[in-house]
């Protein structure tokens, strides 16, 4: 596929790089966010529903005040594997599971970074050595609300929000802008009942106005943790070693650099009893 004119020969054009910076600036993001929250943006809903075969009867309401209202729609009922030993997906999208070690440099959407850079913390990564790094990529057509994967507790003092700049999801632009190091992201440490200490990170991509995490201390499995406003989004989970055996198909796909489609609340692994 031929690159968009904005990305063609991007590395050779100083002015295109400047223009791209403007296009992904907070002002452009704000204006886009303002538009998708306006009643005028409703004109895009019918096309999105038809193109993606979305059954609106599954949701709490079938009419929406704006495209963002449609984008953040809620299911009438959340279905998830209730068995306490099952590790479930916090959201809907494409999943990859990778190993964690002290030298791990992760490449996601052609962006390379170390775990400490993602967390802006040099000590937390040591808790997850030899564990698993789960990436859940939410596409625009996916459900943009996410749930807790287990019962447990999260403390307000462990919550961290890292401000950043939003960038395009085009592969060529990734070569020049570090998306995860510049994107807004939030994370907290989840002390779970069945799977030990987990860190869940929500990462906003281009045009996501905000990450909305509910102010919850004690949580239950399947309870809504939060949601993303309009735009593409990603969730990362850090899981400690010897806590979970993950689905062999997902693991094999991940080794072959293939994402696996997963549903909200679907089982992706099970607890290791030691």
The residue that leads in pLDDT, 167 or 122, is: 122
pLDDT given at position 168: 45
The strand pairing partners of 228, in sequence order, are 211
Query: What tokens does 248 get?
Result: 């062999």
**Mean pLDDT value across the chain:** 84
Cα separation, 274 vs 252, in Å, equals: 24
The residue that leads in pLDDT, 237 or 7, is: 237
Taking alpha carbons only, the member of 67, 25, 76 closest to residue 43 is 67
Q: What is the pLDDT of residues 225-250, one digit of tens each?
A: 999 988 668 899 999 999 999 999 99
DSSP type of residue 176 = T
Cα separation, 112 vs 99, in Å, equals: 15
pLDDT given at position 24: 56
Q: What is the pLDDT of residues 202-213, one digit of tens each?
A: 987 654 448 999
Judged by DSSP in three states, 218 sits in strand
Q: How far is the CA of 108 from the CAs of 90, 116, 148, in angstroms?
A: 19, 15, 23
Question: Would strands 218-219 and 152-154 be described as parallel, antiparallel, or unpaired?
Answer: antiparallel
pLDDT given at position 184: 77
Query: What tokens does 66 get?
Result: 């704006």
Q: Residues 91, 142: contact at Cβ < 8 Å?
A: yes
The strand pairing partners of 211, in sequence order, are 228
Share of the chain above pLDDT 90, in %: 65
Q: Which CATH number fits domain 86-271: 1.10.3470, 2.40.128, 2.70.70, 3.40.50?
A: 2.70.70
Domain ranges in the chain? Answer: 10-71, 86-271
pLDDT given at position 19: 59
Give the number of other Cβ atoms within 10 Å of residue 192's Cβ.
Answer: 20
Q: What is the pLDDT of residues 27-62, one digit of tens each?
A: 666 777 788 899 999 999 999 999 999 999 999 999
R_g (Cα) of the chain, nearest Å = 19
What's the whole-number mean pLDDT along residues 83-95? Answer: 97
pTM over the 0.85 mark: no
Share of the chain above pLDDT 70, in %: 78
Q: Residues 4, 170: contact at Cβ < 8 Å?
A: yes
Question: Would strands 160-162 and 197-204 be described as parallel, antiparallel, or unpaired?
Answer: unpaired
Start-end of H helices in the chain:
14-23, 26-36, 45-51, 67-71, 115-119, 171-174, 179-182, 248-255
pLDDT given at position 13: 58
pLDDT given at position 141: 86
The residue that leads in pLDDT, 6 or 257, is: 257
pLDDT given at position 28: 67
What's the whole-number mean pLDDT along residues 180-205? Answer: 86
pLDDT given at position 165: 57
How many Cα atoms within 13 Å fall on the side-chain side of residue 10?
Answer: 18
Give the number of other Cβ atoms within 10 Å of residue 54's Cβ.
Answer: 16
Question: Is pLDDT of 169 > 70?
Answer: no
Q: What is the pLDDT of residues 101-140, one digit of tens each?
A: 988 887 655 556 789 988 989 999 999 999 999 999 998 8
């Amino acid at each position: 596929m031929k690159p968009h004119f904005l990305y063609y020969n991007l590395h050779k054009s100083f002015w295109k790089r400047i223009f791209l910076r403007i296009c992904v600036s907070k002002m452009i993001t704000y204006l886009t966010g303002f538009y998708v929250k306006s009643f005028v943006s409703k004109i895009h809903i019918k096309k999105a529903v038809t193109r993606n075969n979305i059954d609106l009867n599954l949701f709490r309401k079938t009419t929406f005040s704006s495209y963002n209202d449609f984008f953040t729609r809620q299911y009438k009922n959340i279905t998830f594997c209730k068995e306490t030993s099952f590790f479930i997906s916090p959201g809907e999208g494409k999943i990859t599971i990778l190993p964690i070690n002290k030298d791990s440099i992760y490449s996601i959407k052609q962006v390379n970074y170390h775990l400490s850079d993602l967390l802006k913390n040099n000590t937390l990564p040591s808790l997850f050595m030899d564990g698993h790094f789960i990436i859940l990529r939410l596409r625009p057509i996916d459900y943009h609300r996410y749930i807790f994967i287990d019962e447990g507790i999260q403390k307000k003092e462990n919550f961290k929000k890292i401000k950043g700049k939003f960038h395009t999801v085009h592969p060529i632009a990734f070569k020049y802008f570090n998306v995860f190091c510049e994107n807004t992201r939030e994370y907290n440490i989840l002390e779970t009942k069945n799977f030990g200490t987990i860190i869940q990170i929500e990462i906003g991509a281009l045009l996501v106005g905000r990450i909305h995490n509910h102010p919850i201390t004690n949580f239950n499995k399947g309870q809504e943790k939060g949601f993303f406003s309009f735009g593409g989004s990603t969730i990362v989970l850090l899981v400690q070693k010897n806590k979970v055996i993950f689905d062999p198909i997902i693991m094999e796909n991940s080794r072959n650099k293939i994402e696996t489609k997963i549903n909200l609340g679907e089982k992706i692994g099970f607890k290791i009893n030691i």
